[in-house]
Structure 1
Amino acid sequence: MTALLTASRIRRVVLPLALCAGLAAGLSACADDPDEGTNGVGKLAPDAIEEKAQEAADSAKAVRLAGTLVSKGGTFKLNMRLKDDGAAGSVTTKNSTFELLRIGDALYMKADAAFWTHGEGGSQSSAAPSSASGSSGSSDSSDASEADSEAADKLDDKYVKVPQDDPSYKQLRGFTDMDLLLDGLIGLHGDVVKGDRDKIGGIRTVKVKGGEDGEGGTLDVALEGTPFPLQFARGGGAGVVVLSEWDRDFSLEAPEPGETLDYGKQLPRT
């Protein structure tokens, strides 16, 4: 009888303990798993995450890049749709906004009259083509200014085909080159470390940083679907760009003849 009571007591003690252990295990299993339902990239080492993002970007056929870049030459706001054989979008600088369209090697630029009259310097210049002669005098200067204004009005909201031998061609084309922009924008510098989880455009991401404080840049990599880079914050506050619409193709069409004018001389510096 004593043995039976002892066994009964043991069962009364062990059963609740087993139930508690099972409950604890169940609660642990139900806890949020940051990698549940993801592509698994978040489990990788930080340098492997960066490598996966770079591979995804290199294999993509199209992307939208929007954000701000700060350089010694000033601050640029970009909103460009890019693909292998061309691009379309806009660039905003301190004094103006202009549109760019590239189809193969053919590069077109469109801006308002103020851009063609004043260029980037913000003051009256020779940015617009002038029909004035080389003679001097206040009358000639006034005539030249009037000619500049008339020419700029004609160029207002028209596409200008940028000659390939123009000094501005290479710089402007750089804003439309998908490989060039991505190579220059999503590379991290320094020892790569893994950062926090976040969301960009509603998509879960994991951050990888160049250095503990992100001084070498911070890259957000998608945890859903293909591990595309979705945002890059340049080190030192040098701008943030958002990358979206990966592999979403878009059409590019040359402007109609009535939408295009010949600038006729070297473009203003941009």
Structure 2
Amino acid sequence: MIPISQGRSPRATLAAAACALLVTGTALTGCSEKDPNEGTNGVGRLSADKIQGRAQKAATSAGTVRLHGTVVTSGRTYTLDMRLKEKGGIGSVTTKGETFRLLRVDDELYLKAGAEFWGQGDGTEDGGGEGDGESDAAAAGKLAEKYVKVPQGDPSYKKFIGFTDKNVLLDGLLTLHGTLATDGHHQQSGVRTVRVTGDKGSGGTLDVSLEGTPYPVRLVRAGEAGTLTFSAWGTDFPLEEPAEDETLDYGGQLPTS
């Protein structure tokens, strides 16, 4: 019989006894290994569907988030750096070498861009005449680096507002396709994570935090449709409409970047 040492709990003693009984002249392969879920929030012990469910619930419950990375939609690649909350969002979008800023407060959407963006078109279908190039350049110069209010009936409103809507954006992104499975423990941006895959990765991968609330940390979308990282969950930030002297009307249909 293996004696029970004083001062040791029965559980610890039994674990030591089990390891001792496994010694058969070969190296031990399990008794000294550290539990990868020790000191974590415990989601690493759950099934893949439950991990994804916990992550989606945490994302929905958080008031704010910052997301950064790429999204491929309709054959276009957009690089996003957005901070989002329930009533709107602010940040930058880059596509085809052009970068512009988006700001939404409630239903009001504003776009700020350089002269090159505004110089893409004059918002009308009329043919250009002599001197139109100079007038277009002058108009683009006035609009440059000003917040332009996007009319809700403009095609650009529907196209860009989704980048500023936390719930719509996350609902569309945080879904893996195919059969879900876990793919080990990892580390993203200094945060320990557990990874969930859809169809062994072809349906996307999602890294979920093992520290604190199980927020999504990194998403690789299915079909090479982009990679996004998430941070600053629940960290508030100021969001207000631009000052009047920073705002201009475009006076026509906005260019479609």
Instruction: Note if 1:158 corresponds to 2:146.
Output: yes
Query: Residue in 2 aligned with 1:219?
Result: 206
Instruction: Note if 1:230 corresponds to 2:232.
Output: no
Task: Give the partner amino acid of 2:188.
Answer: I
Q: 1:196 deviation in Å?
A: 2.1
Task: Give the partner amino acid of 2:208.
Answer: V
The secondary structure found in structure 2 opposite 1:79 is strand
- Kept in 1: contact 2:197–2:205 (CA 8 A): yes
How far apart are the structure 2 equivalents of 1:184 and 1:27?
43
Query: Residue in 2 aligned with 1:188?
Result: 176
How far apart are the structure 2 equivalents of 1:82 and 1:41?
25
Instruction: Note if 1:44 corresponds to 2:31.
Output: no
**Deviations along 1:180-218, whole A, 9 cap, x unmatched?**
110111101111011121111211001001112x11110
Task: Give the partner amino acid of 1:228.
Answer: Y
Match among 67, 75, 78 for residue 77 of structure 2: 75
Query: Residue in 2 aligned with 1:126?
Result: 122
In structure 2, the CA distance between the partners of 1:148 and 1:186, relative to structure 1 (3 Å rule), is: same
Query: Residue in 1 aligned with 2:187?
Result: 199
Instruction: Note if 1:253 corresponds to 2:252.
Output: no
Query: Residue in 1 aligned with 2:89?
Result: 87
* 1:162-177 matches, cutoff 5 A: 162-177=150-165
How far apart are the structure 1 equivalents of 2:52 and 2:110?
35
Select the structure of larger CA radius of gyration: 1
Q: 1:141 deviation in Å?
A: 2.5
How far apart are the structure 1 equivalents of 2:98 and 2:184?
37
Query: Residue in 2 aligned with 1:146?
Result: 134
How far apart are the structure 1 equivalents of 2:61 and 2:80?
22
Task: Give the partner amino acid of 1:58.
Answer: T
Q: 1:142 deviation in Å?
A: 3.3
How far apart are the structure 1 equivalents of 2:256 and 2:76?
13
**Deviations along 1:5-51, whole A, 9 cap, x unmatched?**
xxxxxxxxxxxxx8x92897x99554221001000000011111111
Q: 1:71 deviation in Å?
A: 2.3
How far apart are the structure 1 equivalents of 2:39 and 2:31?
15
- Kept in 1: contact 2:122–2:252 (CA 8 A): no
Identity in percent: 53
Query: Residue in 1 aligned with 2:37?
Result: 35
The secondary structure found in structure 2 opposite 1:99 is strand
**Deviations along 1:116-136, whole A, 9 cap, x unmatched?**
002xxxxxx335x79xxx6x7
Runs of at least 5 residues in structure 2 that lack an aligned partner in the other structure? 1-16
Instruction: Note if 1:266 corresponds to 2:253.
Output: yes
How far apart are the structure 2 equivalents of 1:234 and 1:28?
35
Query: Residue in 1 aligned with 2:67?
Result: 65
Task: Give the partner amino acid of 2:63.
Answer: K
- Kept in 1: contact 2:177–2:198 (CA 8 A): yes
How far apart are the structure 2 equivalents of 1:74 and 1:22?
61
